[in-house]
Structure 1
Amino acid sequence: MERRTLLRQGPRTLRHPERRHHFYRADRVYTSTAQVQVVDPKLGRRIVVDKNGSGSTIVWNPWSQGAATMSDIGEGEWQNFVCVETAAVRERALTLWPGHPHIMTQTLAVESLD
């Protein structure tokens, strides 16, 4: 059985194919201030990741070897998720000076695909 997770960022759609028997480690940085959507047709939902003060989005999954070193991920659970994080990295990295704060926020919402 093939399952697909679609990541939508701004005007383009990023496809990340997943197969239960052939999954691979994911660790990718997208340079964008746009909202990100994770479309999960198996559960009939869309997870919306909205952000402010962030110029980057990181999409990752630890795969089996990485998950084995994480105490909060059970055996085989790495096959059932993808992490989407709000960030400021690489060319969008920030330098914070004393007395000059930066506020970065992330808002998550779940919507039905109906």
Structure 2
Amino acid sequence: MRSFAVPGATHVVMPIRADVAPLLLEFARWWHVTVEQLVVPGCWGYAYREISGSNSLSNHASGTAIDLNAPRHPLGAFGTVPGHLRGVIESKAAALGLRWGGSYT
């Protein structure tokens, strides 16, 4: 696990697994430019924890997931991202081989 700075986002540094860092950092950079500016605190990666409401480990526990402006977009909340951006975000994530957490709600 290493800490990586998000390109173009001042002071946004997240611990993530090195082999997936290029994909996660590109998504975070794109989010910062396209969706909303990333803020500190509020963006994080590795955290050894279970998925909220389950006994299964989160992808954060392996360093293969990131949260972007998490306090603005809590798990299970609706309407925190404008509707017209949902498809754009899902397409970008899919193009990188990722899944967007907003699709889980």
Q: Same fold (TM over 0.5)?
A: no
Q: TM-score range by the shorter chain?
A: 0.3 to 0.5
Structure with a larger share of its residues in strand: 1
Structure with a larger share of its residues in helix: 2
TM-score (norm 2): 0.39
Bigger relative contact order, structure 1 or 2 (CA pairs below 8 A, ≥6 apart) = 1
